[in-house]
Amino acid sequence: MIIENRFAGRKAVITGGAAGLGHGIAARIKAEGGTVEVWDINADALAALDMDTRQIDVTDADAVSAAMLEAAPDILVCSAGITGPNTTTWDYPVDEWLKVHDLNLNAVFYCNRAAAPVMRAKGWGRIINIASIAGKEGNPNAPAYSASKAGVIGLTKSLGKELATSGVTCNAIAPAAVRTAIFDQMTQEHIDFMQSKIPMGRFGTVDEIAGMACWLASDEASFTTGFCFDQSGGRATA
């Protein structure tokens, strides 16, 4: 349900916002009156969007710092990510491990690190990191993805406590699988495994995740920080 003008006067930066969950969240914030700047590395995907965009490699810490100062967002949603290959830990290529962690965890750190001082200076801010149920439970044959998302959850908890008296909150969302283009990076066997673990028997939707993200980005979530919210169709046990 769209809440009219909920984000009037607020500016959001959404990483990985040209597609998937990031795009859904960006569109929802814009529909609710916010100003949105989408960050993505895919120039063609950005060109197709009807909103402000910035082509950026979020694994470049210096580029992130400069862009964050220029954008000066009230809301940051870190959604950029990749799955990496599906294989056992002992067969996992080292270069792929590093690639997954660079985007899924290091880039989130760079963005959070750059946004926190900007938001602290305003006395208000919302940081929302997209984690995964895999970061809570660990998915077999997805060691890099699981470990990187566990790192996002730990970072969120740490930063949320550091910012607790500043007016800035930091929370994470841990979805189970949501059918987006990221499924193209997975084997069918892994997709089937993920669905089999969800008690509701279905994948989540982009709209469901966007709804949670928008609540966390709103004034209503002012007493919520350092927490990781389950959106797993009943899969999560903690």
Q: Which residues are catalytic?
A: 145
Q: For the range 217-224, what are the long-range contacts, defined as Cβ-Cβ under 8 Å and sequence gap of 24 or more?
A: 217/7, 217/10, 217/12, 217/29, 217/75, 217/77, 217/126, 217/128, 218/6, 218/7, 218/126, 221/126, 221/169, 221/171, 222/169, 224/169, 224/171
Please, are residues 235 and 198 in contact by the beta-carbon 8 Å criterion?
A: yes
Q: What are phi and psi for residue 204, nearest 5 degrees?
A: -70, 170
SS3 of residue 148 by DSSP: helix
Cα–Cα dist 35/53, whole Å = 11
Please, are residues 160 and 171 in contact by the beta-carbon 8 Å criterion?
A: yes
Tokens coding 43: 């120039």
Cα–Cα dist 91/137, whole Å = 20
Rounding to the nearest 10 degrees, give the CA dihedral for residues 113, 32, 175, 90.
-40
